[in-house]
Amino acid sequence: MLRHFQTMAPNETVGCRLVNGRWLHLDPTDDPTFESPPVFVGYDTGIIRLDLPCVPGDEKPPVGPLDEIDCEGMSVMPGMIDSHVHVTASSADLRKPAFMTPSLLYARSVPILEGMLMRGFTTVRDCGGADHGLAAATEEGTLGGPRIIYCGKALSQTGGHGDFRAAAENQLPFGSCRCCNFTIGRVCDGVAACREAVRDEVRKGCSHIKVMASGGVASPTDRLENLQFSEEELRAIIEEANNAKIYCAAHAYTDEAIERAVRCGVRSIEHGNFAEDKTLQMMHDKDVFLVPTLITYDRLTKEGVAGGMPQELVDKVGNLVEHGELVLKRAIELNVRVCYGSDLLGDMHKWQAHGIDLHLRAGVSNSDLLKSLVHYPNKMIWGNVWGHDVVSTDAQIPPDGELPYLGCRADLLVVKGDVAKDPRLLMDPENIKVIIKNGKIVKNELGFKNQEETDSFGPDGKDQTIESKRARR
């Protein structure tokens, strides 16, 4: 087991209480925090419950001692969600994975995943590269890292944003085919091939389909303003995703590409830097999410060449940050639901949380910023999308207006200071004192109260005090 996933609680305890903290609440009021009673997190179930002898729906109360973490002066909030990552992108040169063996590719993903979790991101939505194996390994604790929601390979046309061959190349390295290489994408042309590609990614367990609907920065033979895939191909891809009861996310920069993807039925727009007001209004009307990725453009201009990206590709970034900030501000004003994304590559993953500053600089309010890190990603990934209920063990937040987190999966952060007043606190991992993923404490700098004694619930449901041996694994 990796160090981050070593159980940090005593053997004999059944869970922990979080007490005295200010609990982050984002809806329905504008005040993003309020005081709440202590809650109980079950180590075995990974579910958040009221700290009562027996919660409705439980067959019996918890039996055994409970750890207690004093959160005085701290903010308690759900784990953050990064809605656009590439966990296998260990280099800014996205051609390099094609030259790697699978074992090396995934080995280089390990520190990327651990870093994400230690920055407080308990869930990430991978938009090209991760697969069932990596997702399963992090879920079972074999690898330390966040929960991975993955699309598998992003779908690209020949010469599109997922085709990383240079103009002089006709073959991929090692004779690998265009759908089974180790880059972030796969190539498919024509309606029949597009349908087959979606079905294949669904077979491999993806939670959503990613389609490259415009050109991109990292691809060598296209331009940002290119339209990619025909409308007939796009509609076939989206139909197959809908048939599988999942949704389609579209990489798109220009207003024309965004409008076309939305009109065809995608559920989210990735990047969206040149969207115009009329298209943003269409996104709102059709309940389409926007996932801006401002931090990657900021860092590529500063570190991209050093990280392995050719200068001619870095030059494609141009004014994406400036335009992206303007679009982000207008999207918020038009009530488009925004989900935070980083999209970083190589050594630049360490800047994952620093897009927070760019969002705030664009005029996004503290409340809207926090919603983009927690609330809207939950709705995009799990809640009220294709009939799924927000209140489930697959969600981190309940419906609007209910006491936060009860009955939901225990992905929690305890952060020094008042996050509601200063979300920039989340940019420094040193401020994140406790990280709980799926009920397991993976970081605890606050320790436990009552080292010799702890309250517990006995078989009769009454409080009782026992001595704790406090034997640690």
Instruction: Write out pLDDT tens, residues 42-76.
Output: 777 777 765 544 444 544 455 567 788 999 999 99
Instruction: Assign a CATH topology to domain 80-364.
Output: TIM Barrel (3.20.20)
- Rounded Cα distance between 87 and 130, Å, is 6
pLDDT of residue 384: 41
In the predicted model, what is the mean pLDDT of residues 402-409?
64
Lowest mean pLDDT among 127-131, 217-221, 380-384, 390-394: 390-394
pLDDT digits (tens, 9 = 90+) for 223-238: 888 999 999 999 999 9
| Ramachandran sector of residue 129 (left: φ over 0; alpha: ψ -120 to 50; beta: rest) | left
Q: Calculate what percentage of the chain has a pLDDT beyond 70.
A: 78
Q: Between these two residues, 393 and 422, which has the higher pLDDT value?
A: 422
CATH classification code of 3-78+392-467 = 2.30.40.10
Q: Give the confidence band of 23 by pLDDT, cuts at 50, 70, 90.
A: confident
**3-state SS class at 378:** helix
The pLDDT, as a whole number, for residue 464 is 31
pLDDT (tens digit, 9 = 90+) per residue, 130-143?
999 999 999 998 99
Rounded to an integer, what distance in angstroms lies between the CA atom of residue 124 and that of residue 198?
Answer: 21
pLDDT tens string 423-452 = 999 999 999 999 999 889 999 999 987 544
8 A C-beta contact, residue 145 and residue 123: no
Please give the pLDDT value at position 99.
78
Across the range 30-36, mean pLDDT stands at 54
Write down the pLDDT at residue 100.
Answer: 82
Better-predicted residue by pLDDT, 454 or 304 = 304
Between the CA of residue 244 and those of 127, 201, 202, 239, what are the distances in Å? 18, 11, 7, 9
H or E element at residue 404: none
Q: Which helix (H) or strand (E) holds 127?
A: none
What is the mean pLDDT of the segment spanning 452-460?
A: 38
Query: SS3 of 269, please?
Result: strand
Can you give the pLDDT at residue 53?
A: 45
329 has a pLDDT exceeding 70: yes
Query: Which tokens in the block code for residue 273?
Result: 């830097």
CA atoms within 13 A on the CB side of 391: 10
Please name which of 235, 2, 277 lies closest in space to residue 113, comparing C-alpha atoms: 2
Q: Give the start-end residues of each E strand in 90-171.
A: 121-126, 147-150, 154-156
Mean pLDDT score, 347-369: 95
Structure tokens at 234: 């796009």
* pLDDT at 471 exceeding the cut of 50: no
Distance CA 302, CA 315 (A): 11
Please give the pLDDT value at position 449.
79
Residue 215, token pair as written in the block: 């050109």
- State the Cα–Cα distance between residues 38 and 68, nearest whole angstrom: 10
* 418 band by pLDDT with thresholds 50, 70 and 90: very high
pLDDT score recorded for residue 38:
63
Q: What is the mean pLDDT of the chain?
A: 82
Q: Based on the number of CB atoms within 10 Å of its own CB, is 459 exposed (0-12), middle (13-18) or buried (19 or more)?
A: exposed
At residue 11, the pLDDT reads 53
Which pLDDT value is given to residue 406?
67
Q: How is the chain split into domains, by residue range? A: 3-78+392-467, 80-364
pLDDT of amino acid 457: 35
Q: What is the dihedral of CA 113, 114, 118, 124, to 10 degrees?
A: 20
Beta carbons of 304 and 346 less than 8 angstroms apart? no
**Predicted local confidence at residue 160, as pLDDT:** 87
Taking residues 316-332, what's their average pLDDT? 93
Among 269-283, 412-426, 436-450, where is mean pLDDT lowest?
A: 436-450
Least confident of 125-139, 147-161, 174-188, 348-362: 174-188
Strand-pairing partners, residue 441, are 436
Q: Compare 171 and 434 and report the one with higher pLDDT.
A: 434
pLDDT at 16: 83
Higher pLDDT, 467 or 135: 135
Alpha helix stretches (DSSP H) within 108-190 = 109-118, 132-140
pLDDT of residue 67: 85
- Give the model's pLDDT for residue 54: 43
- What pLDDT score does 126 carry? 97
Are 16 and 3 a contacting pair, CB within 8 Å? no
Distance between CA atoms of residues 428 and 416, nearest Å: 10
